[in-house]
Amino acid sequence: MASIKPSVPKGTRDFSPAEMAKRNYIFDTIKSVFRKYGYQQIETPAMENLSTLTGKYGEEGDKLIFKILNSGDYLLKVDQQLLLSLNVQRVTAGISEKALRYDLTVPFARYVVMHQNEIAFPFKRFQVQPVWRADRPQKGRYREFYQCDADVVGSESLLNEAEFVMIYDEALGKMGLKDFTIKINNRKILSGIAELIDKSDNITDLTVAIDKIDKIGLDGVSKELLERGFSEDDIEKIKPVILLQGTNEAKLASLRATLAGSVIGIKGCDEIETVLNYIAGNPLRTAKLELDITLARGLNYYTGAIFEVKTNEVQMGSIGGGGRYDDLTGMFGLKGLTGVGISFGADRIYDVLEELDLFPQTASQGTKVLICCFDADGEKFALPLLKQLRDSDIPSELYPAGAKIKKQLDYANARQVPFTIMIGSDEMQSGLLTLKDMVSGGQEKLPADEIVKKLKA
């Protein structure tokens, strides 16, 4: 059989032991903070019904969903005319009814609706699982990556928003990030701005354009708005809002003045202020909290708060995001249930921590001692000792007999095992075993009990 050159699909990666240790450090840190704030973990299947996912992420998003082909002779079940039509969308619906999850929020909404009778609201859940996107990979962008989501459904309180800011602050600070910004905005403010220029029905174009202010500047945004049917007059009206400067309080005051004529706009200001007040009572440790009204994000289901987290220490896209959606479960038939949530992008956080060299030297959580013996007799002699070590919760291994000592010690070094125990004829005769410190190179002869005691310390 011809051998195939081994490879993994574009944008996916293997994780070796050293990487897993670091990844688990990130996951464990985030999970511990989630738990501390009262969130409970759930998991949902890697695949969902395609119909559950389509239409939730906009036109672009739908294209990025990985579809799973039906099983069996699925082509026979499809109308031949349809196949010949070459209409991708309709043919897809005929040959695929499952897809890999694209994010954790939509599956969660489905979960809430399906389990509504067993859930105690407000329901605070967290979820740490991979998601898949058929995107073009590039720096910090993968086709399989983990999201760490925390959401609350069934609570309108803005305390939730404030707690999410605290969770970001605490979790990212715990991982050693020193300089990062939590940007916050409110969809109602954006609605107010649209109202101001009587373009409420075109809020998507407006938000998409002003979201780019950092990248393409005011001129670029103006140009894009003109192309999308906004007038010079409109742009003049909203210009002061887009170009807001100063402290969060100053921005808020200015917004209130500009949006005075918009009920919804003022509501957005009120909400932001409430969140800021909650935070003021519990000052953040590390994060900067910045009201940024250019923050719009693509997701069109946000209705209140919008979050995005960026590190200022390295060049990297956002490492977290989230917001409030008043009616996410509505599309699954459960109306009027509000939700707010955030997400950590674990893979990007990994890249950031790696670049900043912030991973702790997790004192080799691996094997602590390797027993090396010179022959089969030594191996037999070592077995009770191995059991004794493991009964004392000392991670230990016995190198199978037959290999040269050099090879066994090489193995210990490669695995970064800090201690070895040598067992040869001398040791078996005297009962004094040779314990070797692989870092210092020193060794001493001790009875088994002493060794266990010493390694346990």
Chain residues binding RNA by CB under 7 A are 7, 9-11, 58, 60-61, 103, 133, 135-143, 145, 147, 208, 211-212, 215-216, 297-299, 308-309, 317-321, 343, 345, 347-348, 374, 404-407, 409-410, 412-414, 422, 424-427, 434, 436, 438-441, 443
Residues 6+ apart with CB under 8 A from 1: none
- Rounded to the nearest whole angstrom, what is the least distance from the CB of residue 7 to RNA in the complex? 7
Q: CB-wise, 17 or 283, nearer to RNA? A: 17
We find the least distance from the C-beta atom of residue 256 to RNA, in angstroms, to be 28
Nearer to RNA, 246 or 298 (CB): 298
Query: Smaller CB distance to RNA: residue 102 or 278?
Result: 102
Backbone torsions φ then ψ of 55, nearest 5 degrees? 85, 0
CB 165 within 8 A of CB 287: yes
Nearer of residues 386 and 405 to RNA, judged by Cβ:
405
Torsion of CA 325, 326, 332, 336, to 10 degrees: 160
The DSSP secondary-structure symbol of 202 reads: G
Kindly tell me which of 166 and 209 has the beta carbon lying closer to RNA. 209
Q: List, in sequence order, every residue forming a beta bridge with 434; answer none if it has no partner.
A: 422, 445
d(CA 341, CA 164): 8
- Spatial separation of the C-alpha atoms in residues 304 and 307, rounded to whole Å: 10
Nearest distance from residue 280's CB to RNA, in Å?
26
Q: Are 289 and 172 in contact (CB under 8 A)?
A: no
Shortest distance (Å) from residue 13 CB to RNA:
8
Q: Looking at beta carbons only, is 319 or 389 nearer to RNA?
A: 319
Structure tokens at 9: 């699909």
Per-residue b or e along 60-86, where b marks 16 or more CB atoms closer than 10 Å to that residue's CB: ebbeebbbbeeeeeeeeeeeeeeeeee
Question: Which CB atom, from 80 or from 440, has the smaller least distance to RNA?
Answer: 440
Shortest distance in whole angstroms from residue 407 CB to RNA: 6
Q: How far apart are CA 443 and CA 419, in angstroms?
A: 10
Q: Is the peptide bond before 122 cis (omega within 30 degrees of 0)?
A: yes
Q: How far is the CB of 82 from RNA (least distance, A)?
A: 21
Contact 262, 195 (CB under 8 A): yes
**Token pair 């050099």 is at which residue?**
406
**Residue 444: CB minimum distance to RNA, A:** 11
Q: Is 420 helix (H, G, I), strand (E, B) or coil?
A: strand
Q: What are phi and psi of 269, to 5 degrees?
A: -60, -45
Nearer to RNA, 268 or 345 (CB): 345
Q: How far is the CB of 408 from RNA (least distance, A)?
A: 8
